[in-house]
A and B are shown apart, each in its own frame.
Chain A
Amino acid sequence: MKFKVSHEKCIGAGACAEVAGRVFSQNDDDGLIIVLDEDPPPSEYENVRQAARLCPALAIKILEEDSKSE
């Protein structure tokens, strides 16, 4: 799975860190998204998809779904 995040769009809502805490975190200084794992295991794919959907600023874009995902 490939995804990209946009600091320009990010508003520090924190939804990503809440639903996909192994993949995303928030910078303590500005609240902006931090990617903890750029190539997460298939077990995290659904969480990443959910983070992308729940982000109110749509700051996470899924570029490529992966065939490994179920």
Chain B
Amino acid sequence: MTNGIVIIGAGSSGSQVAVGLRRHGYAGPITLIGDEPEPPYQRPPLSKSYLNGTVTREEVTLWSEGDFAVHIITLLTSFRATNIDRVGKRVLLQGAKSIGYDKLVLATGGRNRKLSSLEHAAFGLHDIRTLADADRFRNALSSARDLVIVGGGFIGLEAASIAAERGLSVTLIEASPRLMCRTASQAVSDYFLKLHTSLGTRIWPNTAVEEISTTPDGRRKVLTTDGGTHSADAILVSIGTAANDEIAQSAQIATDQGVLIDETLATSDQNIYAIGDCAKFHSPYCSAPMRIESVQNSNDQANQLASAPTTGVPARYKALPWFWTDQGRAKLQIAGIVPREAQQVIRGDVTTGAFSVYSIVDGRLAAVESINSPADHITARRLITKGVKPTAAQIQDPELNLKTLL
């Protein structure tokens, strides 16, 4: 008798593998283990439409208990996998239970980094990763006047735009010199700095939290490294994530701030795969191995893995990474990974709020960031995937449809 496939992590990638396996005709047992109480849901809306209240909890649900019953998938919620016995091929669960596997998928995701040396609990600091986090923060927003956000990446900035549009006074502290420093080019950072400033948000780059204290009236006071003090009713910490790779580490599977996987998504144990936010790999579109935290990566890796047992041929993962964020009136879509050093060419007019930044490395198009320009984005995905080498003059020519270069 076969033990089938066990998936640790019931987020978007884990659940997508489970359902995808059935779609591809896999008939063996499938067990999906999640440590949250809810069935799988979408995380991107938690700092966007779910936070501003335009979508409901039901609408962010990916799959219901009923869906798993229909597909004959065993879903274990509120269960934590504690260890892997690779020799006996069993996953140990809290409470001394264990489940045997033929193939194991690690889809354990990531967790939010906390401010070091500060007690999140003591000051009621907020972060957004789970539905429970988002509910708690949404609740705090409804009564807060002054919000301090620590970290100017996608999540912090999405939250800042929602809070500012609601009339809150928002202060954002960013440790690096510019916003979205790891994911966006200077030109895009500059554009978003202006946009958020125009919404009333005060942004402090090159600044970190020195100390947080409680004032006699029960509010918080944030002291920053530049000597500033900021009063707050609520504080959101959005300073990136760390991979949940401890279970792999303790089973002596190779990790390096993420579970290391090869092109077939296999870990150092060929019966164990890792996908989604927890997995670190060398994408053909990146200069070094990295974790790619996105819906695109989660879905594409899950879909590739789901088709593997039925096709029998291990495919090589080479999907182009893409990302998006909604902030105020701007939708930013990024194709590829924006390199640190690149020649940058702008198409369109920055002042109109619809333009794209093309990053070129050694003549090759490496990444394109598009603001309110979905056509540029879709074409960019194809240009980058095909390895097209557009010249700066071609990119800047408004009369030239870049699609014709494909």
Residues of A within 8 A of B (CB): 8-13, 15, 29-32, 52-54, 56-58, 61
Contacts and interface: CB of A to CB of B under 8 A. Distances in A.
Contacts of A31: 374-375, 377-378, 381
Nearest to B303: A18
Given A31-B377, A32-B374, A53-B62, A11 B55 contact: no
30 contacts: A8-B331, A9-B49, A9-B326, A11-B324, A11-B374, A12-B333, A12-B377, A12-B378, A13-B296, A13-B299, A15-B299, A29-B375, A29-B378, A30-B375, A30-B378, A31-B375, A31-B381, A32-B374, A53-B59, A53-B62, A56-B42, A56-B295, A57-B44, A57-B324, A58-B42, A58-B45, A58-B49, A58-B55, A58-B60, A61-B59
Given A12-B374, A15-B299, 18 more contacts: A8-B331, A10-B374, A11-B324, A11-B331, A11-B333, A11-B374, A12-B377, A12-B378, A13-B299, A29-B378, A31-B374, A31-B375, A31-B378, A56-B44, A57-B44, A57-B324, A58-B45, A58-B60
A11 B333 CA distance: 8
A13 to B, nearest CB: 7
B63 interface: yes
Secondary structure type dominating chain B contacts:
helix
Interface string B363-378: 0000000000011011
Nearest to B23: A19
Contacts of B59: 52-53, 58, 61
For the complex of A and B, the 6 pairs showing the least CB-CB separation, nearest first, are A31-B378, A30-B375, A30-B374, A56-B295, A11-B324, A29-B375
Contacts of B42: 56, 58
B403 interface: yes
A13 B377 contact: no
Contacts of B44: 56-57
Contacts of A61: 59
B61 interface: yes
B293 to A, nearest CB: 13
Contacts of A56: 42, 44, 295
Contacts of B49: 9, 58
Contacts of B378: 12, 29-31
Nearest to B298: A56
A30 B331 CA distance: 13
Nearest to B379: A29
Contact of A13 (B295, B375, B403): B295
A50 B122 CA distance: 41
A23 to B, nearest CB: 18
Nearest to B40: A53
Interface in B228-271: none
A56 B190 CA distance: 27
A10 B98 CA distance: 42
A46 B55 CA distance: 20
Contacts of A57: 44, 324
Interface string B12-53: 000000000000000000000000000000101100010000
Contacts of A32: 374
